[in-house]
Structure formats: C-alpha cells, structure tokens
C-alpha cells in the first residue's frame, strides 16, 4: 500500500504541535489533524500565561506540515486509514496526542446542580468567581490555582481524598508546601473524598469524608479521562486499562504497534516538559525503528506555587525501598545562602538522594525558583554525572542555584568520611611529611 505520509498526528495540544515540528525537521511527510485552530493549552499555562495561543496554520504550515481541520476516526477495513473530512490519510505510523479532559464524577444530583471545571479556566475568569470556593483535586494544577485564588482574596477549601498533598512526591516537601498554603488561609481537608452535593438557597453543601461544608461554588480539578471520543481505536486493536487510558509499552506504542501516544492521554501529572519528552521518543520510534524508550527518572515534576516545589527522580522513601542501605541523603537549606540573609524568604530546602558511589538517584527542592534550579540536577542525572563532581562547579555567589554546589560539597565530605581507607592513607601521608 502506498503511504501519503510518514506520520499522521492527531490532536491540538502543545505536545502535538511539538511532535509535528520535530518530525518535519527530520524531513518526513507529516500531517496534523485537529478540531480547533487554537492550541489546547494546559491549565497552568492559561492561568499563569506561561504559554500562548498559537495559530497552528501559520506556525506549522510554513514548516511544511499538512494541517487538516476536522474530526476523524480510525477505519480498519478494507485498509487501515485515518478518515477525516471524507479524506483517507494513509501513513506508516500514527501519533495520538489529544490530551485528557475532566469528566463529572458519579455523584448524585451533580449533573443537575453543576460545578465549574478546571479545564475551562483562563486568567480573566478568576476575579469573577464568588467568595467561598471548594477546589476538588490533588495535583499541581489544583494546588497552583488554590494559592492564586487565595491571593485574590477568595476563601479556598482544598479537598483531597488522599492522606496528604501530592502523595507521589517527597513527604517532607509536600508537608512544607502544605504548611505554606495553610499559613495563607487555605483550608486543606485530607482523607475527605467528595461523595454528595446539595443546593440550598444558592449555596452548595458538600459531603466530604465525615463532614459537611458550605460554599458558593465548586471547582472540579480531578477525574481526568483520555480525550479519545469517536476515534474508534478499538477497531485497530487498541486496549485500555481499568481507568480508560490506553495500554502502552516503554516505547509509547499501544497494543497496535503502528499507533503511538504521548502526553496527558497517558495519565499521571499534567506537565508540558514530560509530554514533550514523550513526543520526542514517540516521533523517533514512529519514523525510524522502535528502539527508543521513555525514561521518567530524569524528568522534573514542578509545582509553580510560592515557594516552588520541584522533584526529579526517586524520593527518599522510594530510593531506600529499592536500594536499601546503599542510599545516602544530603539536605541543605536556602536560609544558609548569602542572598537569603537579606530577605525574608528563609524557608525551603534542597534534598539530594544518592548512592555510596555518588550516583544521583533523585532531588527534591522547595524554595524560590526551585523549578528552574532543578534542571541542573536533572541534566546531571541524565548524563550520569556523579554528585561529588558537581562540587567542582561554582555557581554565582548571590544566587539560589548556589544551593547545588553547597549540597554537592557537603555530599563529597560525607562520602569522604565514610571512606576509611582513603582517610587512613591521608593520615599516613601527612605523618610522613612531618618527619
């Protein structure tokens, strides 16, 4: 069968645009199918304006990408193709990057009473919200929004069904961030699953766990489902897990090896850097040979609150679970940096987890600009740079990034103290020099 394209990408997300740009620069024939002429930005990008609405036709058309507007579906017979606007797109491989969307949970009367959906927010909407709010969700986007609403003078109730904030991240970091949020007046309810809603005199009453709260409005920021409506993936043999997300291998292939996926459609935390890394792996596997594997160990997860929370690799508990007694931990505090001696921002820390040979397993930071600083540790992990080597690089003196060299130097000293043979050799050397 003759192919029209080397790769057909479905979706109007940031990762879909990135994948199309990546593929066309490799001199491949690329089509991008989407249902909206504007890019579908993530919530944090819309609220904090870290992204912009891109005109896809203008941006990618100039690069040579065939941009097709419309909704389509996969057809299995007589030949496997993607059908859009009565046009059959024949390609060697397909990449689905349609993202995920929030769906209403199965709570009685919720559909009739209604609530606000986090996906629909932009920055201009925030000031028009009522005073008392309930925010349902335990992810970076909901936490960022809770702090932003609190700064706008809203009374915010953050409802979590888990035992703590961000349970997949470092306990010490999430606990410190929770303390900051509560200091700013945010009410955080842990282990409080939302089970009921009633409306009485324009007020909404929520049953959360074993208690009831009264609010003006509810913002739903959880219960994500992949945005796969009417794509007819089942006809191509694509299988899904119990949560409705497609099953993939570490090469980002679905159960149909010619179909790849990336981004929020896979579940997990919604982070643009992770989605673009997945898109990069998927494009290379789709265009060449499926040899490249996704590696999440070196991809930071960031929460753009004040202070930032950022983590890459394993947490302390995870590292000790997998590596046992071979794990060492070093923790440095931002308040010990010279520039923090002249400011009131004295909270925050940098914790680095590493093996006895200096291999970095992970890092977590809470502090000003931690989301930017974490990139240096992520790069060191990706390049297999040992932690003591970072002690030989000296960051500018009055900067937060100096915490890395300070932590690396402390780790180097800690490793040296544990090396009894080397310390004995040094002692012998200096005793000899005294003679």
Residues 360-413 have pLDDT tens digits of 999 999 998 999 999 999 999 999 999 999 998 888 888 888 999 999 999 989
Alpha helices in 296-339 (DSSP H): 316-323
Predicted pLDDT of residue 269: 82
Instruction: Determine phi and psi for 95, rounding to 5 degrees.
Output: -125, 125
Residues 347, 180: Cα–Cα separation, whole Å: 9
Domain C-terminal end among 220, 248, 265: 220
Token pair of 226 as six digits:
């992949």
- Would you say 100 and 226 are in contact if contact means Cβ atoms under 8 Å apart? yes
Spatial CB neighbours of 232, under 8 Å, sequence gap ≥ 6: 73, 74, 75
Residues 365, 334: Cα–Cα separation, whole Å: 10
- Would you say 149 and 135 are in contact if contact means Cβ atoms under 8 Å apart? yes
Question: Is residue 308 predicted with pLDDT exceeding 90?
Answer: yes
For residues 316 and 269, membership in a common domain is answered with no
Predicted pLDDT of residue 51: 45
Query: What CATH number should be reported for the domain holding residue 263?
Result: 3.50.50.60
Q: At what angle do helices 14-25 and 272-287 cross, to 10 degrees?
A: 40
Residues 337, 397: Cα–Cα separation, whole Å: 9
Predicted pLDDT of residue 123: 54
For residues 311 and 272, membership in a common domain is answered with no
For residues 50 and 68, membership in a common domain is answered with yes
Domain C-terminal end among 275, 294, 313: 294
Predicted pLDDT of residue 243: 87
76: Cα separation from own chain's centroid: 34
Q: What is the rounded average pLDDT for all residues in the chain?
A: 89
Predicted pLDDT of residue 52: 47
Its domain, for residue 72, covers 5-101+224-294
For residues 67 and 151, membership in a common domain is answered with no
Token pair of 394 as six digits:
């000296």
Exposed, middle or buried, 324 (CB in 10 Å: 0-12/13-18/19+)?
Answer: exposed
Predicted pLDDT of residue 53: 46
When mean pLDDT is compared across 9-18, 30-39, 361-370, the lowest value belongs to 30-39
Predicted pLDDT of residue 418: 84
When mean pLDDT is compared across 158-162, 255-259, 336-340, the lowest value belongs to 336-340
Predicted pLDDT of residue 57: 67
Token pair 């987890």: residue: 353
Predicted pLDDT of residue 194: 95
- Would you say 271 and 301 are in contact if contact means Cβ atoms under 8 Å apart? yes
Predicted pLDDT of residue 176: 95
Band of pLDDT at residue 245, cut at 50, 70 and 90: very high
For residues 157 and 304, membership in a common domain is answered with no
Which comes out higher in pLDDT, residue 96 or 397?
Answer: 96
For residues 289 and 302, membership in a common domain is answered with no
**Which residues in 22-38 are b (16+ Cβ under 10 Å) and which e?**
bbbeeebbbbbbbeeee
Question: Is residue 18 predicted with pLDDT exceeding 70?
Answer: yes
For residues 228 and 91, membership in a common domain is answered with yes
Which comes out higher in pLDDT, residue 51 or 312?
Answer: 312
Spatial CB neighbours of 89, under 8 Å, sequence gap ≥ 6: 4, 5, 8, 31, 33, 68, 72, 81, 82, 83
Domain C-terminal end among 294, 326, 345: 294
For 188-222, what is each residue's pLDDT tens digit? Answer: 999 999 999 999 988 999 999 999 999 999 999 99
For residues 156 and 267, membership in a common domain is answered with no
CB atoms within 10 A of CB 390: 22
Report, as an integer, the average pLDDT of 156-168. Answer: 95
Residues 71, 229: Cα–Cα separation, whole Å: 10
Q: Which of 298, 296, 300, 269 is nearest to 370 (CA)?
A: 300
Question: Is residue 174 predicted with pLDDT exceeding 80?
Answer: yes
Question: Is residue 435 included in any domain, yes or no?
Answer: no
Tally of domains in the chain: 3
């Amino acid at each position: 069968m003759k192919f029209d394209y080397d790769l057909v990408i479905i979706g109007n997300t940031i990762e879909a645009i990135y994948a199309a740009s990546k593929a066309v620069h490799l001199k491949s024939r690329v089509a991008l199918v989407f249902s909206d002429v504007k890019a579908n930005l993530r919530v944090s990008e819309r609220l904090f304006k870290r992204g912009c609405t891109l005109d896809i036709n203008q941006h990618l058309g100039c690069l040579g990408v065939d941009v097709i507007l419309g909704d389509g579906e996969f057809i299995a017979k007589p030949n496997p193709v993607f059908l859009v606007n009565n046009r059959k797109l024949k390609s060697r491989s397909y990449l689905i990057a349609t993202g995920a969307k929030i769906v209403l949970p199965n709570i009685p009367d919720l559909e009739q009473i209604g609530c606000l959906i986090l996906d629909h927010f932009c920055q201009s909407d925030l000031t028009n919200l009522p005073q008392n709010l309930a925010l349902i969700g335990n992810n970076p986007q909901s936490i960022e929004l809770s702090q932003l609403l609190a700064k706008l003078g809203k009374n915010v109730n953050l409802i979590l069904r888990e035992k703590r904030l961000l349970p997949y991240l470092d306990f010490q970091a999430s606990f410190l961030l929770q303390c900051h949020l509560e200091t700013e007046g945010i009410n955080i309810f842990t282990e409080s699953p939302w089970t009921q809603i009633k409306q009485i005199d324009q007020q909404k009453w929520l049953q959360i766990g074993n208690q009831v709260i009264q609010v003006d409005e509810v913002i739903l920021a959880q219960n994500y489902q992949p945005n796969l409506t009417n794509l007819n993936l089942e006809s191509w043999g694509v299988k899904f897990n119990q949560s409705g997300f497609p099953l993939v291998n570490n090469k980002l292939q679905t159960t149909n090896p010619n179909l790849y996926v990336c981004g929020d459609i896979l579940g997990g935390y919604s982070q643009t850097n992770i989605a673009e890394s997945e898109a990069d792996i998927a494009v290379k596997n789709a265009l060449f040979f499926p040899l490249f594997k996704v590696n999440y160990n070196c991809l930071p997860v960031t929460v753009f609150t004040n202070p930032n929370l950022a983590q890459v690799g394993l947490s302390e508990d995870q590292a000790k679970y997998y590596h046992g007694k071979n794990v060492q931990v070093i923790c440095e505090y931002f308040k010990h940096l010279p520039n923090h001696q002249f400011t009131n921002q004295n909270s925050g820390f940098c914790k680095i987890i590493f093996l006895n040979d200096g291999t970095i397993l992970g890092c977590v930071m809470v502090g000003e600009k931690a989301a930017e600083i974490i990139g240096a540790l992520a790069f060191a992990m990706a390049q297999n740079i040992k932690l003591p080597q970072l002690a030989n690089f000296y960051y500018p003196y009055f900067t937060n990034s100096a915490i890395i060299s300070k932590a690396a130097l402390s780790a180097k000293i800690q490793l040296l103290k544990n090396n009894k043979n080397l310390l004995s050799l040094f002692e012998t050397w200096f005793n000899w020099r005294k003679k």
